[in-house]
Amino acid sequence: MVDSPEGFTGEGFFATSFDKVVGLARKNSIWPLPFATSCCGIEFMALMGSHYDLSRFGSERVGFSPRQCDLLMVMGTIAKKMGPIVKQVYLQMAEPRWVLAMGACASSGGIFDTYSVLQGIDQVVPVDVYVPGCPPRPEAVIDGFMKIQELVHNESLRRRNSDKYKLLLESYGIQ
């Protein structure tokens, strides 16, 4: 059962703000887009299985089309040649969109401190939540997903139009 947002309750009615209702709906209907390149992808498969079951958090539908998803889950080693593709996938997603970096390689390049590996996807797209580990356990990914849900639930509808958000996107070369 989902907790109702803050508001006023009376006999036969409930009143709250529009922001809180939209946040509650978004929080419980996140559609993830997995971008898995290595061993973290195997942990993601375990996460979607019946034992851990990410669908109980409202992510029943895992999409492979960026236009229909709102959470980009980047898992594994990202080569520098793949950086522009990650950015293109991010740009094809509709607003509002969130990013979860799963594992040491997506977060910081991991053990691959070489010329060809991107040292964290935050060099090409803004990241909302980092899940550490090599590879991270499914419980850690669930915790990261719940942090994303918390961000989604508490985000103002006007945040994406703020000057601060526009400056953040401009710092990544995104208009």
The structural domains of the chain, with segments of one domain joined by +, span 26-171
Q: pLDDT tens digits for 94-104? A: 888 999 999 99
Q: pLDDT tens digits for 117-155? A: 999 999 999 999 999 998 899 899 999 999 999 999 888
CA angle 107, 108, 111 (to 5 degrees): 120
What number is the average pLDDT over the span 14-31? Answer: 84
Judge whether residue 5 has pLDDT over 70. no
- Give me the CATH code for the 26-171 domain, please: 3.40.50.12280
- The residue behind tokens 């508001």 is 7
Q: How many alpha carbons lie under 13 Å from residue 19 in its C-beta half-sphere? A: 9
- State how far the Cα of 162 lies from the Cα of 89, in Å rounded to an integer: 23
- Residues in contact with 100: Cβ distance below 8 Å, sequence separation at least 6, in sequence order: 32, 71, 72, 73, 74, 127, 128, 129, 130, 131, 144, 145, 148
Residues recorded for the chain = 175
Give the pLDDT of residue 39: 86
pTM score: 0.86
Q: Which of 1-15, 36-50, 161-175 has the lowest mean pLDDT?
A: 1-15
Which 3 state secondary structure label does DSSP give 32?
Answer: strand
Structure tokens at 116: 């060809």
Give the pLDDT of residue 101: 95
Q: pLDDT tens digits for 35-80? A: 988 888 888 888 888 888 888 887 778 888 899 999 999 999 999 9
At 116, give phi and psi (nearest 5°): -100, -10
Q: Tell me which residue of 73, 126, 69, 124 sits closest to 92, measured CA to CA.
A: 69
Judge whether residue 27 has pLDDT over 90. no
Structure tokens at 76: 């594994």
Q: Quick one: pLDDT band at residue 83, thresholds 50, 70, 90?
A: very high
- State how far the Cα of 45 lies from the Cα of 39, in Å rounded to an integer: 10
- Residues in contact with 167: Cβ distance below 8 Å, sequence separation at least 6, in sequence order: none
Q: Tell me which residue of 4, 86, 71, 98 sits closest to 37, measured CA to CA.
A: 86
Judge whether residue 2 has pLDDT over 70. no
